[in-house]
């Protein structure tokens, strides 16, 4: 039996430039960080006396005889990708809802890959190699319209500037200003809006236009990464918050699907009541809203929006890991 623990991420700047449709022709970079909320994957080989050969537990419970009968598309295709022949049981649990802008889809892929690598005793898979494998699987095998930052964040962990180069290459620059990161953490509030959405569907409305009609917007979005890095390293955190505001208004220009009236009303209310900036995490459309809002403004904000959920979090340095291993089970 193997249990893996894989962190969700918060992406601050640069989202959109991590799609290969963009960075294979232009400069791409993001500023992101992993947090202390995780996806857990439990994986074990099934004894031969069960009637089913594969058991997958997620929002559904699947007991099937062969891989092609599995309804969970990522599980089905990953088992084929790894050429799994033995019966297998897979359980999924997450600290946060799926389809909420926290990179959960790639977290799941990375966590399951880590489990399957461990089951096959592949101990030489580095975090960078794992990230590359996950990117290849999601973009080439699954043919999903997804970026390349979430797989890297989940695999490597930490507060990073990730630079994307052509031919699917990337460079990771660690941000090590722990005092500034802690101060930033105290000024951020993570808000669950209760709106689920598909990142794939949202992204499909604008990814094909990135290098054409949206080119100037994405180039400006990229520049926010370097500016955000500079402000964080220098301790100008309020300006970091204001830059989030500027970046959010710029990102909304990529597609009408990125936001909606409910989100805009909520965001504008936060700004009018003390927040300096913020953004919807992920591709947009719903999920989690991140606001740069100092503590004194939060109680009035949530009193006026009692249905919203405030999710406390901390930044962490760890990527995916095996937290339990017993290959005899």
Between CA 273 and CA 329 the distance in angstroms is 55
DSSP string, 102-138: S-HHHHHHHHHHHHHHHHTT-TT--HHHHHHHHHHII
Between CA 231 and CA 15 the distance in angstroms is 18
For the chain, give the mean pLDDT.
92
The per-residue pLDDT for 292 is 98
The per-residue pLDDT for 192 is 93
pLDDT in tens, 268-316: 999 999 999 999 997 667 789 999 999 999 999 999 999 999 999 999 9
Between CA 243 and CA 60 the distance in angstroms is 41
- 289: Cα within 13 Å, side-chain hemisphere: 30
Is the domain covering 178-313 a CATH 1.10.730.10 domain?
A: no
The per-residue pLDDT for 241 is 98
pLDDT below 70 — which residues of the chain? Answer: 196-209, 211-213, 283-284, 329
Q: Which residues of the chain does CATH 3.30.230.10 include?
A: 2-176+316-325
Q: Which residues of the chain does CATH 3.30.70.890 include?
A: 178-313
The per-residue pLDDT for 258 is 83
User: Spelled out in words, what is the top-level CATH class assigned to the domain 2-176+316-325?
Assistant: alpha beta
The per-residue pLDDT for 215 is 85
Instruction: Using alpha carbons, select from 139, 160, 106, 267 the residue that is nearest to residue 207.
Output: 139
H/E stretch holding 29 reads strand 28-45
Confirm if 73 and 30 have CB atoms less than 8 A apart.
Answer: no
Cα torsion angle, 310, 312, 318, 322, sign: negative
The per-residue pLDDT for 282 is 79
């Amino acid at each position: 039996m193997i249990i893996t623990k894989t962190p969700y991420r918060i992406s601050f700047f640069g989202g959109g430039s991590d799609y290969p449709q963009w960075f294979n022709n232009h400069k791409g970079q993001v500023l992101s960080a992993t947090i202390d909320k995780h996806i857990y994957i439990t994986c074990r080989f099934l004894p031969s006396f069960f009637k089913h050969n594969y058991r997958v537990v997620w929002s559904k419970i699947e007991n099937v005889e062969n891989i092609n009968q599995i309804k969970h598309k990522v599980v089905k295709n990953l088992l084929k990708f790894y050429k799994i022949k033995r019966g297998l049981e897979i359980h999924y649990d997450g600290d946060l809802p799926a389809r909420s802008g926290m990179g959960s889809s790639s977290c799941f892929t990375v966590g399951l890959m880590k489990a399957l690598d461990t089951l096959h005793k592949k101990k030489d898979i580095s975090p960078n190699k794992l990230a590359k494998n996950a990117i290849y699987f999601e973009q080439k095998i699954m043919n999903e319209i997804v970026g390349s930052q979430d797989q890297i964040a989940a695999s490597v962990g930490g507060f990073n500037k990730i630079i994307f180069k052509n031919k699917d290459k990337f460079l990771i620059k660690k941000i090590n200003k722990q005092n500034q990161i802690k101060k930033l953490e105290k000024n951020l509030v993570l808000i669950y809006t209760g709106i689920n959405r598909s990142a794939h569907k949202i992204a499909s409305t604008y990814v094909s236009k990135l290098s054409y009609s949206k080119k100037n917007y994405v180039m400006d979005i990229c520049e926010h990464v370097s500016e955000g890095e500079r402000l964080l390293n220098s301790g100008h955190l309020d300006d970091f918050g204001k830059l989030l505001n500027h970046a959010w208004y710029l990102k909304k220009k990529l597609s009408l699907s990125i936001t909606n009236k409910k989100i805009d009303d909520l965001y504008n209310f936060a700004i009018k009541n003390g927040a300096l900036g913020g953004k919807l995490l992920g591709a947009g459309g719903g999920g989690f809203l991140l606001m740069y809002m100092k503590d004194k403004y939060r109680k009035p904000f949530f009193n006026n929006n009692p249905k919203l959920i405030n999710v406390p979090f901390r930044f962490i340095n760890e990527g995916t890991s095996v937290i339990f291993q017993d290959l005899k089970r």
